[in-house]
């Protein structure tokens, strides 16, 4: 069966520090991968998605970047965090476009 | 950008009652999906309805879709305290890469 792992669960980082969040999927190949951010009490905002290794589409110009170094690995990064980067970050995968997504358990990031 | 708008934003009912949540969207879609999120957790896929379908059932869940009105509803029958969560609709359009665009969600509280 397929599983998705996302870590860490919580993270407190100072302003100006770098960020690296990792997401991995097991039990499938060539998944579509997604990074979303959720502000407190709000809906999800799509940040990046990838349909293959090295293929990254950015939805929102911002302080973050994403990479897909391996088929089932999706990384969200920042060189210098801002206070506004705080939020709940969710990774998700789907077998193809137009299918339902399976979400990871999320990372709660607090920038102080 | 947000596509779906859920109504109401919050709903409080007693166990055993039915809960109805509505979702309106702005553009054409290929499918619409509903997700549940327990507090502080990742989202769980509940049901997917395609644009050529009008109604779909899954256990105690009933989803309807009216593409002429650009709206959908999620009905949870005989609610339980465990149904307490936030519920989100999300739309997908193949021409936009099939990525899911989420609404703001409805917060459902089921009191025992």
**Residues constituting chain B:** 112
CA distance B54 to B82: 27
Note whether B104 contacts A97, CB cutoff 8 Å.
no
The percent of residues above 70 in pLDDT, for chain A, comes to: 99
List, as ranges, residues 11-40 from A with C-beta within 8 Å of B: 32, 34, 36
Length of chain A: 112
Q: Give the pLDDT band (50/70/90) at residue B6.
A: confident
Q: Which of B42, B63, B94 should one mutate to test binding to chain A, selecting the residue with the greatest count of A CBs within 10 A?
A: B42
Q: Which of B100, B103, B106 to mutate to test the interface with A (most CBs of A within 10 A)?
A: B100
Q: What is the DSSP string of A7-34?
A: E-SEEEE-TT--EEEEEEEES-SS-EEE
Mention every residue, 6+ apart, whose C-beta is less than 8 A from residue B68. Answer: none
Question: Would you state the pLDDT for residue A1?
Answer: 85
Q: Which residue has the tokens 């879609």?
A: B29
Our CA-based measurement puts residue A14 at a distance from the nearest CA of chain B, in whole angstroms, of: 22
pLDDT at A96 over 90: no
Of B86, B80, B83, the C-alpha closest to B41 is B86
pLDDT at B1: 45
Q: Nearest chain A residue to B39 by CA: give it.
A: A41
Contact B102 A108 (CB under 8 A): no
Q: Is the pLDDT of residue A97 over 90?
A: no
pLDDT in tens, B12-70: 999 999 999 999 999 899 999 999 999 989 999 999 999 999 999 999 999 999 999 99
Let me know: does B42 contact A105? Beta carbons within 8 Å. yes
Measured CA distances, A47 to A27, A62, B48 (Å): 24, 9, 22
Are the beta carbons of A99 and B48 separated by less than 8 Å? yes
A49 interface with B at CB cutoff 8 Å: yes
Q: How far apart are CA A11 and CA A18, in angstroms?
A: 12
**Residues B110 and B13 sit within 8 Å (Cβ to Cβ):** yes
Give tens-digit pLDDT for A15-62. Answer: 999 999 999 999 999 999 999 999 887 889 999 999 999 899 998 867
User: Residue A101 has what DSSP assignment?
Assistant: P
Q: Do B97 and A106 touch (CB under 8 A)?
A: no
pLDDT score recorded for residue B3:
64
């Amino acid at each position: 069966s397929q599983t998705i792992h996302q870590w860490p669960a919580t993270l407190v980082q100072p302003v100006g520090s770098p960020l690296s969040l990792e997401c991995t999927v097991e039990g499938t190949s060539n998944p579509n991968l997604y990074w979303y951010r959720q502000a407190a009490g709000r809906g999800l905002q799509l940040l990046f998605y990838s349909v293959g290794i090295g293929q990254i589409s950015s939805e929102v110009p911002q302080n973050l970047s994403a990479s897909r170094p391996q088929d089932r690995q999706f990384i969200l990064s920042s060189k210098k965090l801002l206070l506004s980067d705080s939020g709940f970050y969710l990774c998700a995968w789907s077998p193809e476009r137009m299918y339902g997504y399976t979400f990871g358990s999320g990372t709660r990031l607090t920038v102080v | 950008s947000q596509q779906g708008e859920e109504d109401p934003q919050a709903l409080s009912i007693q166990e055993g009652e039915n809960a109805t949540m509505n979702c309106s969207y702005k553009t054409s879609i290929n499918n619409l999906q509903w997700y549940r999120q327990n507090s502080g957790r990742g989202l769980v896929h509940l049901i997917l309805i395609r644009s050529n379908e009008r109604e779909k059932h899954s256990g105690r869940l009933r989803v309807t879709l009216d593409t002429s009105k650009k709206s959908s509803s999620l009905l949870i029958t005989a609610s339980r305290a465990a149904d307490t969560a936030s519920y989100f609709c999300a739309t997908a359009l193949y021409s936009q890469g099939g990525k899911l665009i989420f609404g703001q969600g409805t917060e459902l509280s089921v009191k025992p």
